[in-house]
Structure 1
Amino acid sequence: MSVSSSVQAALPTSPSSGIRALARFGFAAKGTVYLLMGLLALLAATGQQGGQTADKKQAVQTLQGLPGGPVLLGLVAFGLLGYIVWRFTQALRDTENNGSGAKGIGRRLGYAGSGLLYASVAWYAANLALKGSASQGGNTQQSLVARVLDWPAGEWIVMLVGVITIGVGIYQIVKAYSGSFHKHVNSADIPAGQQHTVYRIGQLGYTARGIVMSILGYFLVQAGRQHRAAAVGTTDEAFDLLATMGPAVLGVVAVGLMCYGLYMLVQAKYPVLPRV
């Protein structure tokens, strides 16, 4: 086989195969970010050097000091771009068959919102890779909440978003132990002997992620109730709250987030991408 034919064989053969490739890159990049977040928090919980409670951008920044850091950052940025494309594909193509009802539209908007949440992380990683530095832009979440609080009934809007965020966190935990998640794992091409292990890893991961999201929702509720944007917290501040409950609590959640990262890496290898 010639070199040109080998290259053609490796290229996507259709838009769908291209989206599948981007989605897999996205799962891998997202998994890497969560692994780093969990590892840094675990090191902090155990008092190890280099440990810190970090949000997604701070976790990505740790790649800068590694050998080949710019290349790694570039790969993460590209992967997260792929994840954004996949999330918008889910929303626009309705790959999960949610329908056009109120519930279905809500879920599809959630997919798009999930993609947008990673846009700033992708941009941050790309700037670190290309320029060697990047501004985190301050606490944009606090700035946004401050604006909303100045609206009529702004406190109620912020509290509603907080309650929705808590609900999403609880849903993550429920999902971990629902039959639908088990079916999702079984429907993948994961070898039969490894499916149970992957299922348990996914359960721990979704549980930890749900706990962190619920804490972030609690911060939003407090910000609305107190009419104080400074009460809004990021992931690293959620870790700090867990740390006040003891290093064991922080350590367990940190391990859980590492499990979520591992599960994302498994999804990258054995993706379940309906209707693509």
Structure 2
Amino acid sequence: MRPAGRHALEILARLGYGARGFTYCLVGGLALLAAFGAGGQAGGSRSALLVLLERPFGRALLAAVALGLAAFALWRVVEALSDADGHGRSPKGLATRAGHLLGGGLYGSLGVSLLGVALGRGRGGGAEDQGARDWTAWLLQQPFGQWLVGAVGLGVVAAGAAFVLKGWRGDVTRLLALPVDARPWAVQVGRFGYAARGVTFWIIGGFLVAAALESRSSDVKGLGGALQALRGQPYGWVLLALTAAGLAAFGTFGLVQARYRRIDPPDLGAAGKAVADGALGR
């Protein structure tokens, strides 16, 4: 039997995977409707979740998802610093852990922002990509700023390549304890989802590289901007529909992860020490 602290971390992780899965289902579903001209929107996570405010009990739903995303952020940070998934200290393992740590920060920021909106203490509107443009503008003003932004863009492109490769190789269920009859469809859903997510990372990274080359932060776009860029291409509705379906598949796979992922959380004391050591640079 696991100690209470480890059990609590596992619950937080599962709630987090579920919240992320729900978010991507919503993003993909709304973008799919937009591709076929049936309403919806080709937007990012924030704008998709704000649609909940238009539904009955919308603020409560938004608050629940925001708390789930905050839980996912906490799990990502603990997972990265304590190496709960056993990625190790190889270059690939450290890169994966660094990506999870960065993702934890982004999901935490999104969760806190949306919780403020749900509680009536934050703004619901505003340009969705403005945050990314603001930090890009700040980074461009630093010494070697263009090189730094370009490096970030190339890193995002590399992460997209890793997602596409993961979808192609089909090892998406390696960390899942699935029933035998669920494995075939879960593999296909996960592969499709990771490939679509990789495509959006390529586009986002490409915009960052362009911003670095032109030293212009206004070129930066997030997930919503990436989907809109697809829509603007020849046969864009087809590209948008395929990518949107893939993102919805990634969301569905996230719900599967929430139920069946193998999660081995560290002891809370060890996790706190890992976080402290990471913050102090030890």
TM-score by length of 2: 0.87
Q: Kindly tell me: are residues 72 and 275 of structure 1, through their superposed partners in 2, closer, same or farther at Cα, counting changes over 3 Å?
A: closer
Alpha carbons 1:91, 1:109 under 8 Å: kept? yes
Matched position secondary structure for 1:177:
helix
Alpha carbons 1:155, 1:224 under 8 Å: kept? yes
Distance 1:26 1:123 in 2: 14
Alpha carbons 1:208, 1:257 under 8 Å: kept? yes
Distance 2:18 2:37 in 1: 28
Instruction: Report deviation, 1:183.
Output: 3.1
What residue is the counterpart of 2:215 in the other structure?
A: 227
Distance 1:275 1:77 in 2: 22
Alpha carbons 1:83, 1:115 under 8 Å: kept? yes
Unaligned runs of 5+ in 2: 267-282
What residue is the counterpart of 2:131 in the other structure?
A: 140
Instruction: Report deviation, 1:79.
Output: 0.7
What residue is the counterpart of 1:181 in the other structure?
A: 172
Unaligned runs of 5+ in 1: 1-11
What residue is the counterpart of 2:275 in the other structure?
A: none
TM-score by length of 1: 0.89
Distance 1:132 1:68 in 2: 17
Alpha carbons 1:57, 1:124 under 8 Å: kept? no
2:50 to 35, 46, 61: 61
The two structures, once aligned, show a CA RMSD in angstroms of 1.8
Matched position secondary structure for 1:181:
coil
The count of corresponding residues between Structure 1 and Structure 2 is 261
Instruction: Report deviation, 1:160.
Output: 1.1
What residue is the counterpart of 2:26 in the other structure?
A: 36
Matched position secondary structure for 2:177:
coil
Deviations 1:89-110 (A, max 9, x none): 1112111223345543333222
Deviations 1:50-106 (A, max 9, x none): x11111110110111111112211210111111011101111211122334554333
Q: Kindly tell me: are residues 62 and 168 of structure 1, through their superposed partners in 2, closer, same or farther at Cα, counting changes over 3 Å?
A: same
What residue is the counterpart of 1:25 in the other structure?
A: 15
What residue is the counterpart of 1:111 in the other structure?
A: 100
What residue is the counterpart of 1:259 in the other structure?
A: 249
Query: Residue 238 of structure 2 aligns to which amino acid in structure 1?
Result: A
Alpha carbons 2:170, 2:187 under 8 Å: kept? no
Q: Percent identity?
A: 32
Alpha carbons 1:124, 1:135 under 8 Å: kept? no
Query: Residue 249 of structure 2 aligns to which amino acid in structure 1?
Result: C
